[in-house]
Chains A and B, each alone.
Chain A
Amino acid sequence: MKKKKPKLAVWKFASCDGCQLSLLDCEDELLAVAGAIDIANFPEASRAIARGPYDLSLVEGSITTPHDAERIHKIRRSSKYMVTIGACATAGGIQALRNFTDVKEYASLIYANPEYISTLQNSTAIADHVPVDLELRGCPISKYQLIEVVSAYLNHRKPNLPSFSVCIECKLRGTTCVMVAHGTPCLGPVTHAGCGAICPAYNRGCYSCFGPKETVNTEALAEQLKSMGTPPADLVRMFRSFNAEALEFRQESTIHERED
């Protein structure tokens, strides 16, 4: 008897679609992915939606509307495994910058008739609403990590997704530390690995697209950046980007906002 292929669904919430596009980006591996699983719902690839339940749901985006806050529960109920993909889904994304201000004020500046906008004050992670089995970090996610998760799922093994620092990835690829050798402010020492340390390899500091690493020490890094001449306002901006709502980054940015 032929083994039934597991059903994969991709779901979109408040996001730019960049993470689900990573799946299309897989190119070389895409045929193997399509051969191993049934893609039941994938808005960026096809309008066809197969009925649930789904074996593996990939959820992109954050919760920003009352409607989405309900929809995520329905998806959770029809998903055996739920993996959130990207900074929006795991930490509220760039749109979580609204959490530090008044969203009504923003809406009135942008929309001619803001009264038609139904939105929540805060942009929140999927895990704030429903239990999540695995979170894939990044803005966007790494397609290699995505394939690793699908591959691990299909082969019934644990995915290799280290939560150590980006520094480790720099050293593994032989990149000279941009912070030590160039004095470039870098968030690598507090950032979750996964991207392969792309920015330092191009002589840029890490922007922390992957958010806080395990047992993060933002305070000590911020102290060092300050002593290197980074003003508090810049520290606020550094910690408030794609993962501004991640607990440790939110706390650290708030400290420096007060100093500014």
Chain B
Amino acid sequence: MPDDSTHGGGEHFILDGKALPDLVQSIINAGYWLIGPAVRDGAIIYDEIKSCSDLPRSMTDTQEAGTYRLQQRSDQAWFGFNTCAQSLKPFLYPPTATVCRATREKQGYSITGPTSDTTKMAFLGVRPCDLGAVLIHDRVLADGEYADESYISRRENTLLIAVNCTEAGNTCFCASMEAGPKASQGFDLAMTEIIENDDHYFVVEIGSQKGRSVVSTLSLASATKEQVLQADRRIRPAAEQMGRSLDTSGIRDVLVRNIDNVYWDSVGRRCLSCGNCTLVCPTCFCSTVQDVTDLTGAEAERIRRWDSCFNLEFSHIHGGSVRHSPKARYRQWITHKLAFWHDQFGTSGCVGCGRCITWCPVGIDITAEAHAIREHDLQAAPVKEKTEV
């Protein structure tokens, strides 16, 4: 949605590792509320950044299905970790929001609509997968017939500073989903952190006018062609390091024709239907609407709250829930994410951030489940001769 963003191939500058505090200050001086990675309660999450000392310097994490552990790095990397525990979703699409308020009057009642959120928010250290998810949310929440006005007003005031991945985690698979490890669009600035012997610098790509104006005060030197190539060379291994992969070829049709596959029973037995996967997913956008009243009935409020297709009430229609079993709810989630999202929004609903794998308390793995359905595909097409790539 950033109106003036380019699609890669922008100008490149060099920011010295020691000058990161200047960039942080420049963002804050421009009137932004700065959100970036920070260590809280044993994990790296997106939180308010007041200065560079809030950033998780020299920290990293090890993620596996159902586990996350914070660890120390041996170098001084500012962004040497994988995905944060949550994406930008809690900021751009808050867990709860007031839709409207009603006040009883002598005759009838009056309604006040939502107040638009015009806080200027800057996000530093956005991973390409999370950036891709924001672009998906733009399509879902800001485009089309049912645009969410408060989401639009928040996005209009957003500055996105991506940091390309030069390492990948065990649950990462953005390369499979073509959402990373390099940010290709939608950013205002995209940085690649390079540590080489005693050199520590960022190659900064300008993605928009907004991004340019933030770095304009820093009098940065232009990057040489070699430095830009060096940044790309650093990103490439991350794609090969990904701990997970998902074969997306024909995935939509494979899932759709296996709706009745008995394999779903297997995941149904393991699934807790706790909803963690959906709430850590950067693209899951489902919400419910609740009406609350005060005791006197003088005031009422309508609240939008994150919901999950793993909750029984989510599919409650007249007569009860249509997806009573956890199996049916898991199938609904994965088929929406990887299959029906294509029909609905023209892209996959998955960016391969791997959060649903890491943060599932019992470690259910979307890549393994998609693979298993393919393996159990009852209507598999005859194996075609593989062509050399």
Of the residues A29, A154, A162, contact of B297 by C-beta under 8 Å: A154
Query: Are A224 and B313 in contact, with the CB atoms below 8 A?
Result: no
A54 to chain B, nearest CB (A): 18
Query: Are A150 and B308 in contact, with the CB atoms below 8 A?
Result: no
Q: Does A101 contact B (CB under 8 A)?
A: no
Query: Are A203 and B41 in contact, with the CB atoms below 8 A?
Result: yes
Contacting residues, chain A, for B69 (C-beta < 8 A): 181
Contacting residues, chain B, for A154 (C-beta < 8 A): 295, 297
Q: Does B251 contact A (CB under 8 A)?
A: no
Chain B contacts with A in 20-47, Cβ cutoff 8 A: 40-43, 45
Which of B183-191, B216-224, B255-263, B354-362 contacts its partner? B354-362
Assess A168 versus B361: contact at CB under 8 Å? Given A147-B295, A151-B295.
no
Chain A contacts with B in 138-190, Cβ cutoff 8 A: 147-148, 150-152, 154-155, 157, 160, 162-165, 167-168, 171-177, 179-183, 186, 188-190
Interface of A is mostly: helix
Contacting residues, chain A, for B96 (C-beta < 8 A): 172
Contacting residues, chain B, for A223 (C-beta < 8 A): 362
Which of B107-115, B230-238, B286-294 contacts its partner? B286-294
Q: Please, how many angstroms separate the alpha-carbon atoms of A29 and B85 in the complex?
A: 36
Q: How many residues of A contact B (CB 8 A)?
A: 45
Q: Please, how many angstroms separate the alpha-carbon atoms of A152 and B274 in the complex?
A: 27
Query: Are A181 and B297 in contact, with the CB atoms below 8 A?
Result: no
Query: Are A29 and B295 in contact, with the CB atoms below 8 A?
Result: yes
B211 to chain A, nearest CB (A): 28
Query: Are A167 and B361 in contact, with the CB atoms below 8 A?
Result: yes
Query: Are A163 and B272 in contact, with the CB atoms below 8 A?
Result: no
Contacting residues, chain B, for A1 (C-beta < 8 A): none
Contacting residues, chain B, for A32 (C-beta < 8 A): 294-296
Assess A160 versus B292: contact at CB under 8 Å? Given A175-B41, A217-B326.
yes
B92 to chain A, nearest CB (A): 14
Query: Are A224 and B362 in contact, with the CB atoms below 8 A?
Result: yes
Q: Does B161 contact A (CB under 8 A)?
A: no
Q: Does A33 contact B (CB under 8 A)?
A: yes
Q: Does A112 contact B (CB under 8 A)?
A: no
Among A167, A172, A182, find the residue whose CB has the most chain B CB atoms closer than 10 A.
A167
- Smallest CB gap from B46: residue in A: A174
Query: Are A215 and B325 in contact, with the CB atoms below 8 A?
Result: yes
- Smallest CB gap from B67: residue in A: A180
B270 to chain A, nearest CB (A): 5
Q: Does B86 contact A (CB under 8 A)?
A: yes
Assess A177 versus B276: contact at CB under 8 Å? Given A157-B293, A220-B362.
yes
Chain A residues proximal to chain B, CB less than 8 Å: 29, 32-33, 35-36, 147-148, 150-152, 154-155, 157, 160, 162-165, 167-168, 171-177, 179-183, 186, 188-190, 203, 214-215, 217, 219-221, 223-224
Chain B residues proximal to chain A, CB less than 8 Å: 40-43, 45, 66-70, 85-86, 90, 95-96, 269-276, 279-280, 290-297, 305-306, 308, 310-313, 324-326, 358-363
The 8 A-B pairs at the shortest CB distance, nearest first, are namely A171-B279, A189-B274, A167-B274, A165-B274, A189-B272, A164-B311, A32-B295, A172-B95
